[in-house]
């Protein structure tokens, strides 16, 4: 993937050439990269309120094979359709029930250079699944809607995905990647994944794509390091320290990296407990789980740290705008 750094280095090389050969015209300015918009946290929270209402009206959950999952999918799809996305529902069978992925393409960009961003939309049966993973689903939805609102003309083609049956073992994302012909797979130049990004006792974790923190199971496909740097660049810009987290395939980026597609994303923590050292970094409660309601009945609307959700939502827009390029 062509990085902004490379583009700047190219401009510098051109400028050096211009000095050596004075007849050469002045170097063209580096191509403009549009600045990402601020993602309105109120809009992300409004999506979460809708997902909570959907769970409440459907037996308290949004799990695979349950009516709350399909209602969640219909909600996200309606918003995308109204904004001008081309949406596709991919059906599959898992554990004797029909599951669905929702794929949304934003018209335009280079069809041979796809940047995909996704989140799992299903929850477990125990509760409404608002942090896991209403948070990622809502933030990715609002980022897609921001693309539509902004008049942004990305250089790469943008695709978004909401996965079914993640909680049964990454079933939906596996089916999606497996369904792609090899030629389509190689067009996907990067995949950004958001799973649990509003944990109530949050950490600021970034998938360790280059294994620099040594907490992964080895570096991801080439290009994962650039994604990690891009995400870290957003957080350093707002003065929030990040730490690497396992790039071991415990969420829907797994099938993508196994197919050789560079990937990255953020995570605010699940059942693990925040250490005293992490409290020094980020505040919060030492010795308490990042998400005490992980896979529990209390993963409801109140199980969200708004600041974490806000920062992570803005980081998604930053990553999409930076990695897709264009103006």
Which residues form the catalytic set?
166
Q: Name which of 166 and 310 has its Cβ closer to ligand DPN.
A: 166
Answer yes or no whether residue 132 interacts with ligand DPN by CB under 6 A.
Answer: yes
Cβ 270 to ligand DPN, closest distance in Å? Answer: 5
Answer yes or no whether residue 217 interacts with Ca ion by CB under 5 A.
Answer: no
Q: Judged by CB under 5 A, which of 105, 122, 195, 210 binds Ca ion?
A: 210
Which residues have a Cβ under 8 Å from the Cβ of 57 and sit 6 or more positions away?
68, 71
Q: Judged by CB under 5 A, which of 122, 166, 208, 252 binds Ca ion?
A: 208
Whole-angstrom CA distances from 321 to 150, 176, 201, 316 are 11, 24, 28, 9
Answer yes or no whether residue 132 interacts with Zn ion by CB under 5 A.
Answer: yes
Asked whether 131 and 303 are in contact (CB, 8 A), the reply is yes
Answer yes or no whether residue 223 interacts with Ca ion by CB under 5 A.
Answer: no
Answer yes or no whether residue 321 interacts with ligand DPN by CB under 6 A.
Answer: no
3-state secondary structure of 235: helix
Answer yes or no whether residue 267 interacts with ligand DPN by CB under 6 A.
Answer: yes
Strands (DSSP E) contained in the chain are: 86-94, 97-106, 110-120, 156-163, 188-194, 205-207, 243-245, 263-267
CA 99 – CA 166 distance, rounded (Å): 10
Cβ 148 to ligand DPN, closest distance in Å? Answer: 27
Q: Name which of 146 and 171 has its Cβ closer to ligand DPN.
A: 171
3-state secondary structure of 25: coil
Cβ 19 to Zn ion, closest distance in Å? Answer: 56
Token pair of 79 as six digits: 């918003």
CA 164 – CA 168 distance, rounded (Å): 9
CA 137 – CA 268 distance, rounded (Å): 14
Q: Name which of 63 and 155 has its Cβ closer to Zn ion.
A: 63
**Phi, psi dihedrals of residue 69, rounded to the nearest 5°:** -70, -50
Q: Name which of 132 and 310 has its Cβ closer to Zn ion.
A: 132
Q: Name which of 106 and 207 has its Cβ closer to Zn ion.
A: 207
CA 36 – CA 321 distance, rounded (Å): 6
Answer yes or no whether residue 262 interacts with Ca ion by CB under 5 A.
Answer: no
Answer yes or no whether residue 101 interacts with ligand DPN by CB under 6 A.
Answer: no
Residues making contact with Ca ion (CB under 5 A): 208, 210, 212-213, 244
Residues making contact with ligand DPN (CB under 6 A): 132-133, 166-167, 195-196, 250-251, 267, 270
Residues making contact with Zn ion (CB under 5 A): 132
């Amino acid at each position: 993937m062509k990085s902004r750094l490379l583009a700047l280095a190219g401009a510098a090389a051109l400028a050096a050439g211009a000095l050596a050969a004075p007849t050469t015209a002045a170097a063209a300015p580096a191509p403009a990269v549009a600045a990402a918009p601020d993602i309105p946290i109120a809009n992300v929270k409004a999506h979460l309120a809708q997902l909570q209402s959907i769970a409440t009206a459907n037996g308290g959950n949004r799990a695979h094979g349950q009516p709350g999952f399909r209602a969640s999918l219909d909600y996200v799809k309606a918003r995308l359709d109204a904004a001008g996305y081309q949406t596709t529902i991919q059906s599959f069978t898992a554990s004797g029930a029909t599951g669905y992925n929702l794929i949304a393409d934003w018209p335009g960009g280079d069809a041979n250079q796809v940047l995909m961003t996704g989140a799992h939309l299903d929850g477990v049966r125990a509760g409404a699944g608002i942090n896991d993973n209403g948070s990622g689903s809502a933030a990715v939805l609002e980022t897609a809607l921001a693309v539509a609102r902004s008049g942004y003309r990305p250089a790469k083609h943008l695709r978004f995905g909401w996965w079914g049956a993640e909680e049964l073992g990454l079933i939906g994302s596996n089916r999606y990647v497996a369904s792609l012909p090899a030629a389509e797979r190689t067009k996907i130049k990067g995949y950004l994944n958001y799973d649990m990004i509003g944990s109530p006792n949050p950490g600021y974790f970034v998938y360790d794509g280059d294994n620099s923190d040594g907490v992964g199971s080895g570096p991801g496909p080439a290009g994962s390091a650039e994604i990690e740097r891009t995400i870290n660049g957003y957080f350093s810009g707002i003065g929030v320290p990040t730490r690497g987290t396992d790039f071991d395939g415990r969420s829907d980026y797994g099938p993508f990296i196994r197919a050789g597609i560079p990937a990255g994303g953020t995570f605010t923590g699940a059942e693990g407990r925040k250490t005293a050292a992490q409290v020094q970094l980020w505040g919060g409660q030492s010795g308490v789980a990042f998400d005490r309601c992980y896979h529990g009945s209390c993963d409801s609307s109140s199980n969200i740290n708004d600041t974490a959700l806000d920062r992570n939502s803005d980081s998604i827009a930053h990553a999409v705008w930076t990695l897709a390029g264009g103006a």
